[in-house]
């Protein structure tokens, strides 16, 4: 990354890097137009990689960041990434994966101040808890941390909040977490919103019920023309 001055995007899929004490490579030609960073199932030492990228000023101009999925250990480093990207970040996509026995993600997100400094964020996108849990052998398919992250949005130009929902999220969409999600999205904090998008895919018998639940909860947004629903699957899960 530090040797490609014209690098514009880095997309990793199923990447595995053995744990190391440190990265000693120094940038020789930092990319000046590096704007997209995607981690799809990247198994790396998150602290080590993030510390290197921030120290080498690799990510200062990144506008698009996707981390799908990350485990508990990856939440604080992602917080560092978001802080380092600051006002350059415009689109952030995140999915978390873990076990119920680990206690969830709320406290970690609260401590990491995930989106406090991203004042130009326009799109916040969530991955499907059930889809990623199925892919990685996890069992935490809750939405409890969604309101916490939404509550950290400070951008006065936020335009879109998107939710990817798979058939396995059917039970989850009826949970109390969605009352909190609707409450946060109805606050003055999200007054600039132009779209609340739901990408719902999978078994039609289940997704039709998910869509019904969404329309019931988001009636006021639908009446304002903000609600958009399609059946496009999350590319990272297909």
Q: Domain limits at 141? A: 9-237
Range 113-125 average pLDDT: 93
**In the block, residue with structure tokens 């997704």:** 207
Residue 46 lies in a domain: yes
CA distance 104 to 200: 24
Q: Is residue 220 part of a domain?
A: yes
- 119, 154 contact by CB (below 8 A): yes
Instruction: Average the pLDDT over each of 63-67, 75-79, 127-131 and give the range with the smallest value.
Output: 75-79
The Cα angle at residue 224 between residues 172 and 65, in degrees rounded to 5? 55
Q: Is residue 100 part of a domain?
A: yes
Has residue 114 been placed in a domain? yes
Six token digits for residue 42: 């990247």
Contact 68, 132 (CB under 8 A): yes
Q: Is 50 left (phi over 0), alpha (psi -120 to 50) or beta?
A: alpha
Task: Read off the pLDDT of each residue in 188-199 and give the average, rounded to a whole number.
Answer: 97
Whole-number Cα distances in Å, 36 to 4, 65, 116: 14, 6, 20
* Distance between first and last Cα of the chain: 27
pLDDT digits (tens, 9 = 90+) for 168-181: 999 999 999 999 99
Please compute the mean of the pLDDT values over residues 209-237 and round it to a whole number.
Answer: 96
Residues 45-54 have a mean pLDDT of 73
The rounded mean pLDDT for the chain is: 88
Q: Residues of 10-22 as b/e, b for ≥16 C-beta within 10 angstroms? A: beeeeeeeeeeee
What is d(CA 109, CA 197) in angstroms, rounded to the nearest whole number?
23
E strands within the chain? 9-13, 36-40, 64-70, 91-96, 123-126, 160-166, 195-201, 227-230
pLDDT at 22 > cutoff 60: no
How far apart are the C-alpha atoms of 78 and 152, rounded to whole Å? 14
**Residue 151 belongs to some domain of the structure:** yes
For residue 219, the model assigns a pLDDT of 97
pTM: 0.89
CATH of the domain at 152: 3.80.10
Q: Which of 59-63, 165-169, 208-212 has the lowest mean pLDDT?
A: 59-63
Overall domain count for the chain:
1
- Asked, for residue 2, whether it belongs to a domain, the answer is no
pLDDT, position 44? 64
């Amino acid at each position: 990354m530090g040797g490609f001055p014209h690098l514009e995007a880095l997309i990793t899929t199923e990447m595995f890097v053995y744990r190391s004490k440190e990265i000693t490579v120094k940038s020789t030609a930092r990319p000046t137009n590096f704007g997209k960073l995607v981690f799809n199932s990247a198994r790396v030492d998150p602290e080590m990689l993030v510390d290197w990228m921030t120290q080498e000023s690799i990510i200062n101009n990144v506008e698009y960041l996707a981390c799908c999925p990350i485990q508990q250990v990856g939440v604080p480093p992602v917080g560092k990434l978001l802080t380092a990207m600051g006002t350059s970040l415009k689109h952030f996509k995140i999915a978390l994966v873990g076990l119920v026995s680990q206690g969830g993600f709320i406290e970690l997100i609260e401590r990491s101040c995930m989106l406090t400094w991203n004042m130009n964020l326009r799109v916040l996108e969530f991955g499907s808890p059930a889809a990623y849990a199925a892919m990685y052998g996890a069992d935490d398919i809750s939405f409890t941390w969604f309101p916490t992250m939404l509550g950290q949005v400070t951008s006065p130009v936020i335009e879109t909040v998107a939710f990817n929902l798979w058939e396995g999220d059917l039970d989850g969409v009826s949970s109390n977490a969605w009352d909190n999600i609707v409450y946060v999205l109805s606050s003055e904090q999200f007054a600039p919103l132009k779209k609340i998008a739901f990408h719902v895919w999978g078994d039609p018998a289940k997704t039709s019920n998910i869509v019904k639940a969404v329309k019931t909860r988001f009636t006021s947004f639908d009446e304002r023309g903000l609600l958009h629903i399609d059946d496009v699957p999350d590319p990272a899960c297909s």
